[in-house]
Chains A and B, each alone.
Chain A
Amino acid sequence: MRAPADSDSAVTEALLSVENVSLAFGGVKALSDVSFDVRKGEIRAIIGPNGAGKTSMLNVINGFYHPQEGRITFKGETRARMRPYVAARGGIARTFQNVALFRGMTTLDNIMAGRTLKMHRGIFWQILRAGPALAEEVTHRHKVEEIIDFLEIPQIRKIPVGRLPYGLQKRVELGRALAMEPDLLLLDEPMAGMNIEEKEDMSRYILDVNNHFGTTIALIEHDMGVVMDLSDRVVVLEYGRKIADGTPDEVKGDQKVIDAYLGVPH
């Protein structure tokens, strides 16, 4: 799976490409002139020190922020502005740095919420919970149950997520994103605040999602060990600029990356 570096990027199809994107909030430049691509089926990591613009980059990709300059091409379609729900419908799902679940709802309902975009029956049938809406719900419930089984969380199926430990909440959030059957899955620090065991579990699920469903994944992560183990290619940001791009080994040896993380002697 590990693809060779930039030179043959034309060979593998790019699912998403970001070209010369710049984003500013007033005078603060969050991203300047960033370009990279995500190939179909790969695990792509975005890393960088605090404030480097990683989360901004994800927000740009799923249409939450609109860049002042640059183009984003997803599945062959280029666009400048896009609404998050359009991105969602187009096949981009994401999880958040701080878990963003419906805390009062059960695990099952939270993951079911991820199927919203795939439900087509009108509100009339849905309120009656009968006829075609019932048949549709059965199909979706089956899909959700498969995800629950995949993530090994049947024991918390009917527990409100607010009562779950943090590590499990993260897993539920991943489940909700998977329920959308996305082409591209954006994970914002999937392992933040986890202990080693939880990290290992989460790494396994991310790899399994990639293998089993063939989902393309772009993730932000601070734990370098995790990034180097999981990802096929890594892009490194610093102060909103791209400073390196390549395989984990290439990036690890890059002087600019070392400087960015360890600091430069003055």
Chain B
Amino acid sequence: MAATAAAPVDTFPKLLVRNAERFRGRPAIRHKDLGIWQTWTWEQVFDEVRAFSVGLAEVGVARGDHVAIVGANRPRLYWAMCAVQALGAIPIPIYADSVADEMAYVLAHAEITVAVVQDQEQVDKILSVSDQLTRLRHIVYDEPRGLRDYDHARIESFADVQRAGRERLAADAGRLAAWEVGIAAGQGSDLAIILYTSGTTGRPKGVMLSFDNVIISARNGNLFDQLDQSVEIIAYLPIAWIGDHIFSYAQSYVAGYCVNCPETGDTVVEDRREIGTTYAFAPPRIYENLITLTMVRMEDAGALKRAMFRYFLAHARRWGEKILDRERVPFMARLVYRLGDVLVYGPLKNRYGLTRIRVAYTAGEAIGPEIFRFYRALGVNLKQLYGQTEASVYITAQPDGEIFADTVGKPNIDVDVKVAESGEVLFRSPGVFLGYYKDPEKTAETKTADGWVRTGDAGFFDQKSGHLKIIDRAKDVGRLDDGTLFAPKYIENKLKFYPNIKEAVAFGDKRDFVTVMLNIDLTAIGSWAERNNVVYGSYQELAQNPRVYDMLADHVAEVNRSLAAEDAMAGAQIRRFLILHKELDADDGELTRTQKVRRSFIAERYAPLVTAFYDGSTEADVATEVTFEDGRKGMLSARVKIRDMAPAKRGVLEKAA
């Protein structure tokens, strides 16, 4: 252990050696098993990793080999990563929910020799494609259930591999020294891990990251948010995803903090509550679900509780964010907020498992401003960050006290960010990946000669705050005829945050001005119609109701005002809009299966409407073929009205966001 004391601590195995000395008895990882939290200290983790690592060497894993790691967030799979790295081999985590074919592609492409997997399901998947995996020699599994009758010539349990490792260490005194020499031989510039990005377009790409990439990024991340060994985090996102690799592995090894593995994917909320995590990461949809759940439960609560909830929530919305950002707040408002904290906010945060939270991040896609503010009003320090696998996560993040619902923050420590002429965001940082595995062509496309990386996202820096705003995928961004930047998704997202609007499709590339087609949200508008005695016979009739048009026109006007407040976007305000007579549907090919709008397909399908948008007519007839639930097809025709909108003046509403 002492051998590495003077040398730089620049790999994960070296960090583990350091942690086993420095943090000894502090918890390193927990796992809830059979209803009880099991804890391993850093010293114990070191022992487990060493045993497994030596055991892996016994089955033939050597420097440069590729080892797949497949499964949920389990301590043993995290240990496997470090055990593999200690041998100079490369761990390759793979998405556990990928189907056998996808998995086969990655396993074959990565030239896997050994796979460490969670359970029978993964063993079966790998065996079913093993004829394509010529180099695969051995499979190691964590949970033995259902695997008793398998041929154990090539399959072995994690415990058995560890046992073999321990026996070898006990029998051969030189083995330990040799293992330690192997660790010392590792360098920061070595390839540490290959992470396959779940390709939404085309085949997955293997992003190669060095120890320096991952460790320096993690260290900077810790510095940025002052994370130390007292942090508690729950690991529940896929281990093959760079975010989990940084939050639940790299940052933990660097800072020495404890990672908690939930019992199953279904118990995360409960487990988080039990642990009381202090650092959290979740995509927007998880925060949304928690709120929906709360709102539904509150509907069933008694009158007193409902009244309290409403009163204090309104108070929190007014003052909570200001208190969180340490602004000046009147004494009375502070006092009432304190009371609310005891009666409402505290219990709510406890339910969410956010009582002790110091930093919570959301990323991945745009979060609704209402949702974002809800948590901040309760006193949860929710922030946004922007990152990529190619950057070892961190590109930009919001510093404490500088939080905006629609920005992704400032460049992280050591990160340079610039926006190209085309609007595309580029970055340069210590986290920049080595390249795509076996794909120099793609690497050259993404990395410029002078070290910048193209993100593929378009964005701009907000003048006032200096924060970066991401507006769309770069390839989807177009320009109006006068050269103004046109970012359809940015506009659509702003519209979709209104509960009344279910979908929005914006047009404007190579046109004079921006127009949008809207879909009403039948649940929201339907219940509005009920409350306001608006009678309607069909979706189509409700959608074309003038009062519904008025309501949505107000939303569009608000969006225009917020666009006007941004220099880069002010020219791309919505000048005309219409409400579609039918719901956009994946069955009709208008949406992808993941519910994203297929803009060009819609433009073709509703060509008469697009023409009408730009020839000045106030209504248009359209007939479309629709597919019913049972597969039959029919024609749906309608006359759709088009509403004109006056653009808002530039910078009229200073604080609109």
Contact = CB atoms under 8 A, between A and B. Distances in A.
B143 to A, nearest CB: 10
Given A142-B34, A145-B34, A146-B34, A154 B146 contact: no
B537 interface: no
A208 interface: yes
Interface in B233-280: 263-264, 266-267, 270
Contacts of B35: 141, 145, 148, 154, 157
A149 interface: yes
B438 to A, nearest CB: 38
A155 B34 contact: no
Contacts of A158: 270
Interface string B29-42: 00001111000000
Nearest to B266: A155
A155 B146 contact: no
Contacts of B34: 142, 145-146, 148-149
A208 to B, nearest CB: 7
Contact of A155 (B33, B36, B145, B267): B267
Given A149-B33, A154-B35, A155-B270, 12 more contacts: A141-B35, A145-B35, A145-B36, A146-B34, A148-B35, A149-B34, A154-B263, A154-B264, A155-B266, A155-B267, A208-B146, A212-B145
A158 B263 CA distance: 14
A152 interface: yes
B232 to A, nearest CB: 20
A177 to B, nearest CB: 20
Contacts of B36: 145
Nearest to B36: A145
A5 B632 CA distance: 51
Interface of B: 33-36, 145-146, 263-264, 266-267, 270
List the 8 closest A-B pairs by CB distance, nearest first. Answer: A155-B266, A145-B34, A145-B35, A154-B263, A155-B267, A154-B267, A154-B264, A149-B34
Interface residues of A, number: 13
B86 to A, nearest CB: 31
Interface string A136-175: 0000011001101100101101100000000000000000
Nearest to A143: B34
23 contacts: A141-B35, A142-B34, A145-B34, A145-B35, A146-B34, A148-B34, A148-B35, A149-B33, A149-B34, A152-B264, A154-B35, A154-B263, A154-B264, A154-B266, A154-B267, A155-B263, A155-B264, A155-B267, A155-B270, A157-B35, A158-B270, A208-B146, A212-B145
Nearest to B263: A154
Nearest to B34: A145
Contacts of B266: 154-155
B265 to A, nearest CB: 9
A131 to B, nearest CB: 21
Q: Which residue among B35, B146, B267 has the maximum number of chain A CB atoms within 10 Å of its CB?
A: B35
Interface of A: 141-142, 145-146, 148-149, 152, 154-155, 157-158, 208, 212
A149 B264 CA distance: 10
Contacts of A208: 146
A80 B178 CA distance: 72
A149 B270 CA distance: 16
Q: Which residue among A146, A149, A154, A212 has the maximum number of chain B CB atoms within 10 Å of its CB?
A: A154
Contacts of B263: 154-155
Contacts of A157: 35
Contacts of A145: 34-36
Contacts of A141: 35
Contacts of A152: 264
B30 to A, nearest CB: 15
B464 to A, nearest CB: 46
A134 to B, nearest CB: 15
A147 to B, nearest CB: 10
A116 to B, nearest CB: 20
B269 to A, nearest CB: 9
Nearest to B35: A145
Contacts of B264: 152, 154-155
B234 to A, nearest CB: 15
A148 B35 CA distance: 9
Contacts of A212: 145
Contacts of A149: 33-34
Contacts of B270: 155, 158
Contacts of A146: 34
A202 B145 CA distance: 17
A205 to B, nearest CB: 12
Nearest to B143: A149
A148 B270 CA distance: 16
A141 B36 CA distance: 11
A149 B266 CA distance: 13
A13 B146 CA distance: 26
B400 to A, nearest CB: 34
B385 to A, nearest CB: 30
Contacts of B146: 208
Contacts of A154: 35, 263-264, 266-267
A220 to B, nearest CB: 26
A196 to B, nearest CB: 19
A154 B263 CA distance: 7
A157 B262 CA distance: 14
A152 B119 CA distance: 14
A152 B264 CA distance: 9
A155 to B, nearest CB: 4
A158 B269 CA distance: 13
A144 B146 CA distance: 20
Nearest to B262: A154
A180 B407 CA distance: 58
A145 B264 CA distance: 14
A149 B36 CA distance: 12
Q: Which residue among B34, B267, B270 has the maximum number of chain A CB atoms within 10 Å of its CB?
A: B34
B69 to A, nearest CB: 22
Contacts of A148: 34-35
A142 B146 CA distance: 21
Nearest to A146: B34
Nearest to A144: B35
A179 B266 CA distance: 23
A208 B145 CA distance: 9
A142 B36 CA distance: 10
A36 B291 CA distance: 58
A157 B266 CA distance: 11
A232 B188 CA distance: 60
B96 to A, nearest CB: 16
Nearest to B268: A155
A126 to B, nearest CB: 20
A4 B126 CA distance: 35
Contacts of B145: 212
Contacts of A155: 263-264, 266-267, 270
A41 to B, nearest CB: 15
B275 to A, nearest CB: 15
Contacts of A142: 34
B551 to A, nearest CB: 38
Contacts of B33: 149
A91 B370 CA distance: 58
Nearest to A141: B35
B598 to A, nearest CB: 31
A218 B158 CA distance: 36
A228 to B, nearest CB: 22
A6 B146 CA distance: 31
A41 B36 CA distance: 33
A40 B72 CA distance: 37
A160 to B, nearest CB: 15
Nearest to B267: A155
A258 to B, nearest CB: 34
A10 to B, nearest CB: 28
A142 B33 CA distance: 10
Nearest to A155: B266
A146 B266 CA distance: 17
B578 to A, nearest CB: 41
